[in-house]
Amino acid sequence: MTITLAPEIPRTFRSRVGWAIRDTWVITRRGLAHWRQQPGAVIVNTLVFPVMIVLMFGYLLGGAMTVPGGGDYRDFLMPGMFAMTMVFGIGATVTAVSTDAARGVTDRFRSLPMAAPAVIAGRAAADMLNSTAALTVLTGCGLAVGWHPHRGAARAIAALSLLLLLRFAFLWIGVYLGLRFHSSPEAVTAVRTLEFPAGFLGSPFVAVSTMPAWLGAIALWNPLSSTATAARQLFGDPMGANSSWITSHALTMSVAWPLLLTAVFFPLSLRRYQRLSR
């Protein structure tokens, strides 16, 4: 048997950063390799499901929907669908993170001389790439059902960036919950189930003004609603008449909410990772 010696650990700041970036990239590629190994699961989870919802709401239920303040329902629906898909990505994150932690893979990473943030940063990068692909497919699907941005490419790109920013924020909630509840599969299932009320209790499918006042208030303050409304504004889609403070500041809030969530959950996730123990 041959013996391979470990490279020296880096002493300078620059080489440390180099290692951290390489480590992150290795973990990202691991996430991408998972797609290649299980193309079926990826297609169903990230592509078929949102497309199905677009068709269901756009055609099956859409005929009965009217948007307060006027406008086409499918135009109202698409930005909401985009936002909901971003939030639903949390399920995949929680599952992947908790599976690694439960199987001891996370502990093995922790016993390696890796940069500590690389494991969760790599996870984040892979999930963001996944969600970017999902958003691309969904955009194509929207164009196919007659939706299109009305206010030019620059604003459309800004809207898509806001949507990915929302995904980025929910990613850290997912990492935190995955590390926090890895030892109980029931809790992971609960998180995946709670996606639905969390995703639907907002403005993705129906205008908030059609809800009872108390429910509308919750829906309005759902970060998903701010992003959906900001995207509608940037795409030039109907916004479903609402004059509340948070709706008129949708653009600001669609940046503020994700930054706030990231500021809370990123440090919590990192801490959980470093102190993970069973």
CA distance 177 to 52: 27
Residue 200 binds other proteins, judged by CB under 8 A: no
Residue 150 binds other proteins, judged by CB under 8 A: no
CA within 13 Å, CB half, 129: 16
* Among 79, 224, 263, 42, CA closest to 155: 79
Choice between 126 and 165, CB closer to other proteins: 126
Which of 104, 140, 185, 267 is the binder for other proteins (CB under 8 A)? 104
Residue 2 binds other proteins, judged by CB under 8 A: yes
Choice between 23 and 75, CB closer to other proteins: 23
Choice between 107 and 260, CB closer to other proteins: 107
The answer to whether 57 and 77 have CB atoms below 8 angstroms apart is yes
Which of 111, 197, 212, 243 is the binder for other proteins (CB under 8 A)? 111
Residue 11 binds other proteins, judged by CB under 8 A: no
Residue 60 binds other proteins, judged by CB under 8 A: no
DSSP state of 209: G
CA distance 148 to 236: 9
Residue 185 binds other proteins, judged by CB under 8 A: no
Choice between 76 and 109, CB closer to other proteins: 109
CA dihedral of 57, 61, 67, 71, whole degrees rounded to 10? 70
Residue 155 binds other proteins, judged by CB under 8 A: no
Which of 14, 38, 140, 236 is the binder for other proteins (CB under 8 A)? 38
**The tokens of 7 are what?**
């490279």
* Among 240, 236, 235, CA closest to 207: 240
Choice between 103 and 148, CB closer to other proteins: 103
Residues in the interface with other proteins (CB under 8 A) total 32
Which of 21, 22, 48, 215 is the binder for other proteins (CB under 8 A)? 22
Cα 242 off chain centre by: 26
Residues with Cβ within 8 Å of 34's Cβ and at least 6 positions away in sequence, in order, are 96, 126
Which of 17, 48, 52, 105 is the binder for other proteins (CB under 8 A)? 105
Residue 151 binds other proteins, judged by CB under 8 A: no
CA distance 240 to 217: 15
Give residue for tokens 């080489």.
15
Residue 117 binds other proteins, judged by CB under 8 A: no
Residues forming contacts to other proteins in the complex (CB under 8 A) are 1-7, 9, 19, 22-23, 26, 29-30, 33-34, 37-38, 103-105, 107-114, 275-277
